[in-house]
Amino acid sequence: MSEVSLENVTKRFDSTVAVDDVSIDIDDGEVMGIVGPSGCGKTTALRLVAGFETPTDGAIRYDGEDVTHVPPENRNVGLVFQSYALFNNMSVLKNVTFGPKMHGVSKRERRERAEELLELLDIEELADRDPKTLSGGQQQRVGLARALAIEPHILLLDEPMTGLDAKLKQNLRQELGQLLEDLGITTLYVTHDQEQAMSMCDRIAVMNEGRLEQIGTPAEIYEQPANEFVAGFIGTANLLEGTIRDGTLSLGFGEVDAPETTVEEGDVTVLVRPDEIPVGDGPLDVEVTNLFYQGEHVQATAELPDGRELTLRLDRSRKTVGTGDTLSIDIDPSSVHVIQSTE
Amino acid sequence: MSERFQQGSLSARYGRPFVKLVLALTLFFLAFPVVMTFVSSFASDWFGVFPTGFVTTANWEDVIVGTGVGADVAVGSSLVYSTGLALGGVVINLIVGVPIAYAVARYDFWGRDWVNVFAILPLAPGIILGVAFLRTYPDLSTSGIALIIGYSLLKAPYMVMAVQSSFQSMDLQQIEESARSLGASWPRTFLTVIVPNAKTGIIAGSIISWTLAAAEFNFSYIVYSRGTPPLAIFLFNNITNASFLNAAAAVSVFFLLIALVTIALQIIGNRGAVRRI
């Protein structure tokens, strides 16, 4: 049975449809990510699960039970915000024991539980500190400990790493991912950062303009995007228009065998990821128009013979490549994914 | 390097010292009368430029004991009475003003801007409000209730503005929603999380509105009819009916009171900022 589910949920604010007929089932112990650009409805979806918004249509269920109209304080959800929203009038320890206290847990037990969580998150020495004096990373851990202290039905994370620097974000991402896996807690993780979602979530729901575009594992979303939006939002995408006739995909500048899984005939849009285009040996020559050094690799923009642009990923051994150089590439039929018929 | 860069511009060279000088002069201009009044309250004469005949407590005795020279009543009773009246006004402002400040800072509702305007604009001057009260509730003027209500109405904007400024510096929505997700009801969230987080603004608002209420003259003068006079009336009687040195002692009582209340509220505010569980 699904632990938490949104069933055909719609949320309107006056004439604006923030969430449009969205259905998501989050399994017991699963980490579900919701990603999408700003204003896509992902935070509204989280607020609907938390109980801070009531759906215009549809239902929210916990373990099959309809909680659509249950107030947030009775839903037992752990919430961590981007700003952490720690209570500055209380010490760190008191922040963490606040939730259990509201749930009627005895003083001794809530103190034990808080100390256990602070130790688990490696911040036990901060127990008596004023939250205002903590760094962003420390505040994030306190916010997480506070949310976990109520042993929540579901943990809701709303962009919890947005304000952190890149290195800290990377470390915390690994730690948080490991923690969620160890605790086996059902989690809804809302972020606009697709890399975070890919590395931390068991499944990802991609939203755009209130609609659910696709839901699947990170690999499914990346390798088999349902449409152009998902292909473009998750990772870097080369979207090319072509035509399939008799098992052959014509891309204007050349032809390759159509992917075996393809059933469409006629005009199609295909996706080719930059990391799946071998560079250096191939029948197709492209001219490099732009180079972006990214440390671990170089991202290049190249012009195809028919004038269209293609993004390539070059390893660092090719750092001598310059703008205006010609590169030979190959497009392997196995790396071509037909994502949408344009007819 | 050009001479201009070596020497710096005129404003770079003299700007900071000039601003410091202006600030020091302004501060001196404002503080000097207060200091002189306090010092002169311990003098027996003031005929020349500066008071003479230090140190005497006769002026303070006149005011504290109430010898009949000035207000015909001891300062203690007026002080206690006004302290109570102003405190009553502050309590009403806390009960009404803090939720209004919160609602305006936190929620977007119909008429929000109007509520804000009415809450933070001192619409009626004390004298106008006093006349209105006297005409509308003639029987209330002797009970002190009119004074409490009037003080709270007149000083509410200071409370609302100070508290609102505290609320606006917080992420109210996320703090409130965090507390509620942890199991706290809305009233409990408001009282145990939101209000304590706005402590600085509440203390500042209380100090300002109490101080101004305790010294409110116009409204008190119109509404007060008999019995123990509010402090502002007491001070006025001392100033008009007694020597300047007696009046200086009476005014100094008020200065000291403000200083004590401010220090006490600051201590209360700083204590328990972070309490152990």
Q: Tens digits of per-residue pLDDT, A138-196?
A: 998 999 999 999 999 999 999 888 777 777 777 778 888 888 888 889 999 999 888 88
- The reply to whether B71 falls in a domain is yes
Helical ranges in B137-243 per DSSP H = 145-168, 172-181, 186-189, 195-197, 199-214, 218-223, 231-241
The residue extents of the domains of chain A are 4-230, 238-341
Least CB–CB distance from A128: residue in B175, B199, B276: B276
Q: Are residues B125 and B184 in the same domain?
A: yes
B65: DSSP letter: I
Picking from B90, B66, B86, the residue whose alpha carbon sits closest to that of residue B76 is B66
**A256-305 tens-digit pLDDT:** 777 766 666 788 888 899 988 888 888 888 899 998 888 888 889 999 88
Q: Please report the pLDDT score of residue B276 as a whole number.
A: 36
How many Cα atoms sit within 13 Å of B124 on the Cβ side?
Answer: 15
Q: Please report the pLDDT score of residue A244 as a whole number.
A: 86
Q: Compute the CA torsion angle A204, A208, A213, A216 (nearest 10 deg).
A: 0
DSSP 3-state of A293: strand
Backbone angles phi, psi at B150, to 5 degrees: -60, -45
Q: Please report the pLDDT score of residue B67 as a whole number.
A: 60
Q: How far is B177 from chain A (nearest CA, A)?
A: 8
The answer to whether A291 touches A323, Cβ cutoff 8 Å, is yes
B190: DSSP letter: I
- The reply to whether B183 falls in a domain is yes
Q: How far is A150 from chain B (nearest CA, A)?
A: 7
The complex scores an ipTM of: 0.82
Q: Please report the pLDDT score of residue B122 as a whole number.
A: 67
Q: Are residues B220 and B162 in the same domain?
A: yes
B15 is in which domain, residue-wise?
Answer: 1-30
Q: Are residues B22 and B127 in the same domain?
A: no
The overall average pLDDT reported for chain B is 83
Map tokens 């409490």 to a residue. Answer: B148
Picking from A119, A120, A162, A124, the residue whose alpha carbon sits closest to that of residue A140 is A162
Q: Are residues B119 and B7 in the same domain?
A: no
**A95-122 tens-digit pLDDT:** 999 999 999 999 999 999 999 999 988 8
Q: Are residues B263 and B144 in the same domain?
A: yes
Q: How far is B170 from chain A (nearest CA, A)?
A: 9
Q: Are residues B130 and B21 in the same domain?
A: no
**A8-50 tens-digit pLDDT:** 999 999 889 999 999 999 999 999 999 999 999 999 999 999 9
**Both structure tokens of B172:** 């109210």
Over pLDDT 90: what percentage of chain B? Answer: 24
With an 8 Å Cβ cutoff, are A85 and B196 in contact?
no
* Average pLDDT for A330-343: 74
**B228-253 tens-digit pLDDT:** 888 888 778 777 776 778 788 878 88
CATH T-level topology, domain A238-341:
OB fold (Dihydrolipoamide Acetyltransferase, E2P) (2.40.50)
Q: Which superfamily does A4-230 belong to? A: P-loop containing nucleotide triphosphate hydrolases (3.40.50.300)
- Does the pLDDT of residue B90 top 60, yes or no? yes
- The reply to whether B214 falls in a domain is yes
**B53-87 tens-digit pLDDT:** 888 888 888 777 766 555 556 667 777 888 888 89
Q: Please report the pLDDT score of residue A343 as a whole number.
A: 46
Q: Please report the pLDDT score of residue B275 as a whole number.
A: 42
Q: Which of A13, A46, A87 to mutate to test the interface with B (most CBs of B within 10 A)?
A: A87
With an 8 Å Cβ cutoff, are B182 and A146 in contact?
yes
CA A82-A85-A91 angle, to 5 degrees, is 135
Contact map slice: A 103-142 vs B, CB within 8 A: 103, 107, 111, 128-130
Picking from A76, A41, A40, A26, the residue whose alpha carbon sits closest to that of residue A188 is A26
**A191-246 tens-digit pLDDT:** 988 888 898 899 999 999 999 999 999 999 998 899 989 998 988 889 988 888 88
- The reply to whether B18 falls in a domain is yes
Q: How many domains does chain B have?
A: 2
* Average pLDDT for B110-130: 82
